[in-house]
C-alpha cells in the first residue's frame, strides 16, 4: 500500500499499525495519511529502488523505517495470516 491521500480505508486502519510501501508520495505524507485514517502507527518499507536506504523523518505518529528485504518478509507475513 502506498498510503496516498484517500487510499486507506478507515474501517480497516483504525487502531492498527499500517505497513506503507515507499514511493510516489513523500515518506512523511504516508504517516500523515495513516494517522488521518485512524492508524496508531506505521511501518515504512522501502521499495526495490530504495533498497537498504534508511532515513530519519519527523513523523506525526509512531513509525519505523525498514529496508526492502525486511519489507518483503513483513508483506509475506501479513499475506499469510
Please, what are the averages of pLDDT over each run of 10 residues along the chain (81 residues)? 92 96 91 96 92 87 95 92 82
Looking up residue 39, the CATH number of its domain turns out to be: 3.50.30.30
Length of the chain: 81
Alpha-carbon torsion 4, 43, 11, 76, what sign?
positive
Distance CA 64, CA 80 (A): 22
Quote the pLDDT of residue 45: 96
Domain count, the chain: 1
Is position 3 within any domain?
no
Domain range spanning residue 67?
Answer: 10-80
Amino acid at each position: 500500500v502506498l498510503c496516498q491521500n484517500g487510499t486507506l480505508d478507515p474501517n480497516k486502519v483504525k487502531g492498527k499499525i499500517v505497513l506503507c510501501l515507499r514511493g510516489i508520495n513523500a515518506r512523511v505524507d504516508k504517516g500523515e495519511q495513516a494517522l488521518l485514517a485512524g492508524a496508531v502507527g506505521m511501518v515504512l518499507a522501502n521499495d526495490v529502488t530504495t533498497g537498504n536506504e534508511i532515513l530519519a523523518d519527523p513523523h506525526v505518529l509512531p513509525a519505523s523505517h525498514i529496508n526492502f528485504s525486511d519489507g518483503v518478509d513483513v508483506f509475506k507475513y501479513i499475506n499469510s495470516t
